Amino acid sequence: MSWSNCESSAPGFRGASGRRRGTEARSPVPYRQNPMAYEPEVLCHCNPRRKAPRWISWSRANPGRRYYSCVNAMNGDGCGFVQWYDSPLPKFFSDLIGDLRDEVWRLHGQDNVPPVSVEQVEECRDQFVLVEPTVKDLQDQLKEKSAEIAALKGKFEKVVFIVLVFVFGVVAGKLFAF
């Protein structure tokens, strides 16, 4: 489903209630910077005023756009402070970032490979133990056949050498016979 076909306009940040507004609010990639690692400080309206963390919105309306929100919003007792850090993106870029976010989430879902159990490992080991003698027998047969081929190759080279000497001798005899 294309990002641009969705109609949700949820801002994607945590409101004063502290509840996320849908699954689109979670980040598809790890944050590259701690939400509190910025200067100059932006303070929320709580009493006492505190430094507001800078988050990244992953909502459909504002993907990748950074904003400040009250640090207490996650607890449900915040002041409701929200302030955008970045300007709004053009619709083309907003749709593109949203499509990329959806693809990252789709790919993350594909790498959920179930772990292998001890029983499965033991079963594979048992099958290997059963097949191993057959493999060794086939390797021994291959060595024997390779030795036979090498011996036949040596005999063939001797026969070719003898035939060449014979032909050379016949040709030389005909040339010197006249």
- Mind listing the pLDDT tens digit for each residue in 92-142? 988 888 888 888 878 877 555 556 678 878 888 888 888 888 888 899 999
The answer to whether residues 102 and 131 belong to one domain is no
Are residues 28 and 85 both part of a single domain?
Answer: yes
Q: Determine the average pLDDT of the residues in 20-27.
A: 52
Q: How far is CA 139 from CA 76, 132, 142, in A?
A: 71, 11, 5
Residue 148 has pLDDT above 50, yes or no: yes
Q: Residue 134 has which token pair? A: 């057959």
Range of the domain at 169: 116-178
Cβ burial of 146 (10 Å; 0-12, 13-18, 19+) is exposed
Domain match, 130 and 95 both? no
Given 67, 87, 110, the domain boundary residue is: 110
Residues 14 and 73 both lie in one domain: yes
**Same domain, yes or no: 160 and 126:** yes
CB atoms within 10 A of CB 130: 9
The pLDDT of residue 17 is above 50: no
**Residue 4 one-letter amino acid:** S
